[in-house]
Amino acid sequence: MRALLLVNPKATTTNQRTRDVIIRALGASVDLTVEETGYRGHAALLSRKARESGYDAVAVLGGDGTINEAVNGLLDDAGDPHDAGDPPEPRGPRGSADRPALLVIPGGSANVFARALGLPNSPVEAAGAVLEALREGRRRTVGLGRASWNGESRHFTFCGGMGYDAEVIRAVEGLRGTGYRATPARYVNTALRHYLSTDRRRPAMSLEGPEVPSAEGIFLAIVSNTSPWSYVGSRPVCPTPWASFDTGLDMLGLCRLGLPTMLDLVPQILGRRETLPTGRHLVQLHDEGEFTLTAERPVAFQLDGDYLGETERVTFRSIPDALQVLV
């Protein structure tokens, strides 16, 4: 098996010694080429070249952002039939079985996608699990999400968001740009501080879709392709506990951001959950194929924890059977 390993040298929870151990272990099992990512978008470029060069697998040692880039590089020629006005296809991108499989070795601060696949959070332990999957030929086909906005489209592995959560990610990315690490504690502290400054009086967003009930007055929208949505340290956060790689997309929207609403919601979504959160000011979707969020003014937007700017309209679609993962 020919495999390309993409290494993010700036990944939060790895160091050179750990990377060397993982590289030697993988190199003993496959015909391995190693590339380090050097800038935003580099992982997408490298994984696209690996696909075009006929590699059997692309492994990623990095966080959720690097994994997202690699996935989009593997799938970026799949297109979105809806963007051209064509009828929806019943399954994921054509030829997904012929594309390189993905191997995930977590190296970030949250590692949501890797943990959702059942991998250990330790990069060395996860590498051992991946090697076992290689030896036994274990593959899993997972569905992804796809977001389209402002003439752009991008796949996401576990979540998207508009509003307050994307504002928090924007603020944390700003801190990272000044040298701070993106730790769970920093996300929590930033979220608490930003809550005091976000607009909690004028909701901007509305929900529409071919098979979903319309809703207005939404402050915050979390779109999920799996559960948990994120982690606070080792504790999962599950606003959409029924979300799965094997179903369509789920969503939780908040029509109020006041303190009573937040104090009622937060305990309902912390920890592993099997029941949906309850409340009068929630908008919830489960196993949907397509829906659109529109906004009266530009709002913050993120995919897989990567801030993508402000926008006024995003269409989210489920792409079943999109990707093969060795796990």
Element (H, E) at 190: helix 184-195
Contact 36, 91 (CB under 8 A): no
What pLDDT, on the 0 to 100 scale, is given for residue 77?
A: 65
User: 39 and 74, same structural domain?
Assistant: yes
Q: Can you give the CATH number for the domain in which 75 is found?
A: 3.40.50.10330
Q: What is the mean pLDDT of residues 222-251?
A: 96
Q: Which residues of 50-86 are buried (b: 16+ CB within 10 A; e: fewer)?
A: bbeeebebbbbbbbbbbbbbbbbbbbbebebebeeee
> Within a domain: residue 279?
yes
Element (H, E) at 24: helix 16-27
> Within a domain: residue 71?
yes
> Within a domain: residue 189?
yes
Contact 58, 32 (CB under 8 A): no
Q: Which residue, 91, 116, 144, sits at the end of a domain? A: 144
User: 123 and 180, same structural domain?
Assistant: no
What are the distances in angstroms from CA 98 to CA 54, 93, 109?
A: 9, 11, 31
Task: Please give the tally of structural domains in the chain.
Answer: 2
What pLDDT digit, counting tens, does each position of 162-172 carry?
Answer: 999 999 999 99
What pLDDT digit, counting tens, does each position of 128-137 carry?
Answer: 999 999 999 9
User: 125 and 163, same structural domain?
Assistant: no
User: 78 and 173, same structural domain?
Assistant: no
What pLDDT, on the 0 to 100 scale, is given for residue 109?
A: 85
Q: How many residues does the chain have?
A: 327
User: 174 and 83, same structural domain?
Assistant: no
User: 212 and 88, same structural domain?
Assistant: no
> Within a domain: residue 152?
no
- Helix, coil or strand: residue 156: strand
Q: What is the mean pLDDT of residues 232-261?
A: 95
- Residues in contact with 51: Cβ distance below 8 Å, sequence separation at least 6, in sequence order: 58, 73, 74, 99, 100
Whole-number Å distance between alpha carbons of 54 and 43: 17
Whole-number Å distance between alpha carbons of 283 and 299: 18
User: 292 and 206, same structural domain?
Assistant: yes
Residue with tokens 């402002």: 150
- Residues in contact with 278: Cβ distance below 8 Å, sequence separation at least 6, in sequence order: 268
User: 179 and 83, same structural domain?
Assistant: no
Q: Which residues pair with 32 in a beta bridge?
A: 3
DSSP letter assigned to residue 16: H
Q: Can you give the CATH number for the domain in which 255 is found?
A: 2.60.200.40
Q: Which residue, 91, 115, 144, sits at the end of a domain? A: 144
CB atoms within 10 A of CB 181: 12
Structure tokens given for 171? 């603020």
User: 317 and 215, same structural domain?
Assistant: yes
> Within a domain: residue 149?
no
Whole-number Å distance between alpha carbons of 160 and 155: 10
- CA-based nearest residue to 68, from 300, 248, 304, 246: 304
> Within a domain: residue 6?
yes
The boundaries of the domain holding residue 101 are: 2-144
User: 131 and 200, same structural domain?
Assistant: no
Q: What are phi and psi of 164, to 5 degrees?
A: -60, -45
Model confidence at 79, in pLDDT bands (50, 70, 90)? very low
> Within a domain: residue 151?
no
Model confidence at 97, in pLDDT bands (50, 70, 90)? low
Strand 290-303 to 159-163 pairing: antiparallel
What pLDDT digit, counting tens, does each position of 255-281 carry?
Answer: 999 999 999 999 999 999 899 999 999
Sign of the CA dihedral 290, 293, 294, 300?
Answer: negative
- CA-based nearest residue to 148, from 18, 23, 313: 313
> Within a domain: residue 154?
no
> Residue 25: pLDDT above 80?
yes
User: 239 and 115, same structural domain?
Assistant: no
User: 108 and 36, same structural domain?
Assistant: yes
Q: What is the mean pLDDT of residues 276-296?
A: 97
Q: Which residue, 87, 111, 144, sits at the end of a domain? A: 144
What pLDDT digit, counting tens, does each position of 102-128 carry?
Answer: 999 999 888 999 999 999 999 999 999
Model confidence at 146, in pLDDT bands (50, 70, 90)? very high
> Residue 224: pLDDT above 50?
yes
